[in-house]
Amino acid sequence: MTGLWVFLFDELVHDVEPMDVAADRSRLERDDRQRALGGGKAQELAIGDQILLTVVWLRCYPKQQVLGYLFGVSQATVSRTIQFVLPLLDASGRDTMRMPDPGRKRRRALDELLADTPELAIVIDTFEQRVQRPAGDRKRADAYYSGKKKQHTLKSQLAVDEELGMFVAIAESVPGPQSDLKMLEDSGLLDDLPNGIGVMGDLAYVGIHKLHPDGFCPLRKPRGHPRTPAAIAFNTALSRRRIIVEHSIGRLRRFESLAHMDRQHRHHHTARVVAVADLVNRRLRLRFPHAA
């Protein structure tokens, strides 16, 4: 129900608990607080149970009434708990995401066809999640209508380490119609890349080399002509190299909160993606201890 082993969940609680203490102190000592310290209703769930409730919600995406029944609290308490814990998981996840180390040696040799591409790179891609149709005027609703998915969506951009498949950067979610290349440009990811690290994507990123000297993508088919055998061989070699991002997205979308239609009216969508990416990374670190 969480996607984590018990000891990984304990590590998550250990990492988030200090942030919970700091957030609670900030809430209690704020200038506009009207109650004296000690006033108000006490928390019904300990921090470990609050995190467990939120992770179960991310993994299984049950309705809040169901979570309330499972944890013995009201639906209102479930809602408050998720709203409080989700930003903590978001912050914890961003703290642990790291770009690849340019000095790290690769484990495998590059295909000769890719000799002109960087030896070490991150792989980028996007996925779309269906959202509720925005209420109000038609123009506002159309802003979220994805012609590709034939439904209203939010788009999330992900970047993974080519060698490990771990998430290294998550961009702010945007309405589905925005192009992948425009989203990459607006995200600022290319400005944060260390020297010596390339970036590669699929055909949605045609023209990426204009944004970054070490950006590359498959070769597009010439209009009115077939691809040359050399271009086909290059694209095949490149696909073998970038398939890891598809596997990472698959791990991410095993969490039902990112697979089913969003029921939160597009609120805190990026925080959800980052929180789930952190949970996926925690499992991957077991396979790659040197990446911890």
Residue 62 has pLDDT above 90, yes or no: yes
Q: Among the listed ranges 62-66, 115-119, 135-139, 215-219, which one has the minimum average pLDDT value? A: 115-119
The identity of residue 85, as a single letter, is V
Residue 165: alpha-carbon gap to chain centroid: 13
Q: What pLDDT sits at residue 167? A: 96
| Cα four-point dihedral sign 161, 162, 165, 167 | positive
Q: What is the mean pLDDT of the chain?
A: 89
Residue 68 has pLDDT above 80, yes or no: yes
pLDDT at residue 292 in the model: 52
Residue range 49-58: mean pLDDT, rounded: 96
Positive or negative torsion for Cα 51, 56, 62, 66: negative
Residue 270 has pLDDT above 60, yes or no: yes
How confident is the model over 215-248, as pLDDT tens digits?
999 999 999 999 999 999 999 988 988 999 999 9
- The rounded Cα 120 to chain-centroid distance in angstroms is 21
Q: Is 116 helix (H, G, I), strand (E, B) or coil?
A: coil
- Select, from the ranges 24-38, 105-119, 247-261, the one with the highest average predicted confidence (pLDDT): 247-261
Share of residues in the chain with pLDDT > 90 (%): 64
Rounded mean pLDDT, 126-154 = 91
What was the pLDDT predicted at 109? 61
Q: What pairing do the DSSP bridges indicate for beta strands 197-200 and 120-130?
A: parallel
**37 — pLDDT class (breaks 50, 70, 90):** low
pLDDT at 123: 95
Interatomic CA distance for residues 126 and 128, integer angstroms? 7
pLDDT of residue 252: 95
At 30 the pLDDT is 73
Find the mean pLDDT for residues 59-78: 94
Q: How far apart are CA 128 and CA 5, in angstroms?
A: 28
Query: Which DSSP symbol is given to 181?
Result: H
Measure Cα distances from 159 to 82, 99, 123, 132 in Å: 26, 9, 6, 26
DSSP state of 228: P
Q: In this structure, what are the phi and psi dihedrals at residue 116, rounded to the nearest 5 degrees?
A: -85, 0
Backbone angles phi, psi at 7, to 5 degrees: -70, -30
Tokens of 204: 């949605």
CA pair distance 74, 20, nearest whole angstrom? 21
- Which pairs count as long-range contacts for 191-197, CB under 8 Å and 24+ apart, including other chains? 192/99, 193/99, 193/122, 194/99, 194/100, 194/102, 195/102, 196/102, 196/118, 196/120, 197/99, 197/100, 197/102, 197/118, 197/120, 197/121, 197/122
Q: Return the SS3 of 200.
A: strand
Residue 122 DSSP SS3: strand
